[in-house]
Amino acid sequence: MAKLYVSNKDESVRIFDSSFLEAFSKVHWTVPLYIFIPVILYSLYNAIVIGFSAGYIISLVLAGVFIWTFTEYSLHRWLFHFHPKNEKLQKIFWTFHGVHHDYPQDSKRLVMPPSVSIPISTLFFFIFRAIVGPESVYPFFAGFMVGYLFYDITHYAIHHFNFKGDSNVWKGLKDWHALHHYKYDELGFGVSSPMWDYVFRTTYPEKDSSVKIQNNE
């Protein structure tokens, strides 16, 4: 079987000719925490100030987390793995996600850069505001962003942290995601959870514990 990556070392390939744009394509894995934890806390603060009950806030936060899990799966499967025929579009989609499959251990391109995550999260905020209302959007969006942060940090962790023990949930996610990168790149689209893969039947055809993420392969 042909390998599905160019390099499995922690190294980068240049994406943009412009050094300015290139700098914005890389980000340390902790940056999303600094940006979005304050957003989550501010959203929850607004929900409390508005006067929502604890039960209502919790229910909307959980709803937001749930919607994130579907968003994660949908974006990964139908957007990031879209294969256009147009060469210019191919370059754009490679820049968004294909480069990660070519260089899966590149530690600077494992979480979404703020130049992308901030505009997209802002767009989602206004979409949710139109759906759930100008007040209920705060706890809902807080949950959605909790889900996003969990996904982003999980994605980094399962590529670069070592987990031991067959019953370790994190090791299970690491091995699950390894199969997506190294054997079945059109299956296993869930990163922080395989739930929607089971719903949409995009799980792997067999359990294969022999495929692992090796940092220096």
pLDDT tens for each residue of 106-154: 999 999 999 999 999 999 999 999 999 999 999 999 999 999 999 999 9
Question: Each residue of 18-66: pLDDT tens digit?
Answer: 888 888 889 999 999 999 999 999 999 999 999 999 999 999 999 999 9
Nearest residue to 199 via CA among 89, 66, 96, 84: 66
Residue 216 has pLDDT above 90, yes or no: no
Most confident of 48-57, 95-104, 153-162: 48-57
Residue with tokens 């600094």: 34
The pLDDT value recorded for residue 166 is: 64
Residue 210 has pLDDT above 80, yes or no: no
| pLDDT given for residue 1 in this prediction | 54
Per the model's pLDDT, the better-predicted residue between 102 and 164 turns out to be 102
| The model's pTM | 0.92
Residue 190: partners with Cβ closer than 8 Å, 6 or more residues away: 69, 72, 73, 76, 176, 196, 197
Torsion angle of alpha carbons 27, 29, 34, 40, nearest 10°? 120
Residue range 6-23: mean pLDDT, rounded: 89
Q: Per the structure block, which two tokens stand in for 149?
A: 């942060």
